[in-house]
């Protein structure tokens, strides 16, 4: 199994990967797949390719994500990360649309 850390932030990467078992932590439909055929957790590991480290809240800006404590970071495979981010952003847009007051009429 390849457990090569990235070029930067090696200590953070290891602090996330060790508890994650070097396995993607997507589970239960975060990315749209329920991962039901794999015990509700994505089976991608660092042996399948590089895993990303990112917050559970993928709607955060880059600056806000960089400030997230290690305990709130997760291991993600690229596929689950992209799909989960798209789903979270869509949900945030929908929530904003529903909670925005109707614009005042100009006429």
Mean pLDDT by 10 residues, the chain (107 residues): 64 92 89 80 84 93 93 94 94 86 66
What is the C-alpha to C-alpha distance for residues 1 and 56, in angstroms, rounded to an integer? 25
Residue 94 included in any domain? yes
Residue 50 included in any domain? yes
Domain that holds residue 17: 10-98
Residue 103 included in any domain? no
Residue 86 included in any domain? yes
Residue 24 included in any domain? yes
In this predicted structure, what is the pLDDT of residue 1?
Answer: 45
Count of structural domains, the chain: 1
- Output the CA–CA distances (angstroms, integers) from residue 103 to 91, 97, 106, 107, in the order listed: 21, 12, 9, 12
pTM: 0.80
Residue 76 included in any domain? yes
Residue 81 included in any domain? yes
């Amino acid at each position: 199994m390849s457990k090569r850390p990235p070029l930067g932030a090696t200590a953070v990467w290891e602090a996330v990967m060790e508890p994650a078992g070097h396995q993607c932590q997507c589970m239960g439909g975060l990315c749209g797949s329920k991962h039901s055929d794999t015990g509700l957790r994505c089976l991608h590991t660092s042996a399948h390719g590089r895993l990303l480290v990112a917050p559970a809240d993928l709607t955060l800006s880059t600056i806000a994500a960089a400030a997230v404590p290690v305990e709130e970071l997760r291991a993600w495979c690229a596929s689950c990360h992209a799909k989960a981010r798209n789903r979270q952003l869509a949900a945030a847009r929908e929530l904003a649309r529903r909670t925005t007051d109707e614009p005042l009429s100009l006429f």
